[in-house]
Amino acid sequence: MLLDLKIEPQAQNLPLRELWAFLPIGYLFTIAIETPVLLVGLSRKVTLKQRLWCGIWLTACTYPIVVLVLPAIFMGASRVLYLTIAEIFAPVGECFLFWLAFRGNRDLEIADWIRSLAAIVVANLASFGFGEIMNHYDWWGLF
């Protein structure tokens, strides 16, 4: 999820239309990073199909907020403020959505919940790291 944060040098000033253009590309890159992490990290009591679904769905839920809404709100404002809010929002939002979707699953015990929520946070950090690398290579000319 933090993948988008690596375009932050431009994020605060990018024309709005370019944010829209980045949305699908950034999303695909993000799920390409986060889904494997979730496949490995989420509790084994969550089926493989559900873990795959989480990889696609959780990011899709928070990504438009992080890539479109927050940069538009904080356009021209402090980048640190934007980063802090986006950093907190994405993992917290995804953890909440995971709880919303699986709260009826009685097989999940406290240890499973902790493991799963930690996996979501790690997945977000991983996408951030990958975003750093992508930014280093200037997104191979995509932008």
- Contacts with another protein by CB under 8 A lie at 16-17, 19-21, 24-25, 27-28, 53, 56-57, 60-65, 67-69, 72-73, 75, 97, 100-101, 140-142
Residue holding tokens 């640190």? 80
Q: Cα separation of 4 and 83, whole Å?
A: 10
Q: Which residue, 87 or 93, is less far from another protein as judged by CB?
A: 93
Instruction: Tell me the closest approach of the beta carbon of residue 30 to another protein, in angstroms.
Output: 11
Instruction: Tell me the closest approach of the beta carbon of residue 137 to another protein, in angstroms.
Output: 10
Could you tell me how far CA 3 lies from the centroid of its own chain?
7
Q: Cα separation of 41 and 76, whole Å?
A: 37
Q: Which residue, 68 or 122, is less far from another protein as judged by CB?
A: 68
Q: Cα separation of 60 and 26, whole Å?
A: 11
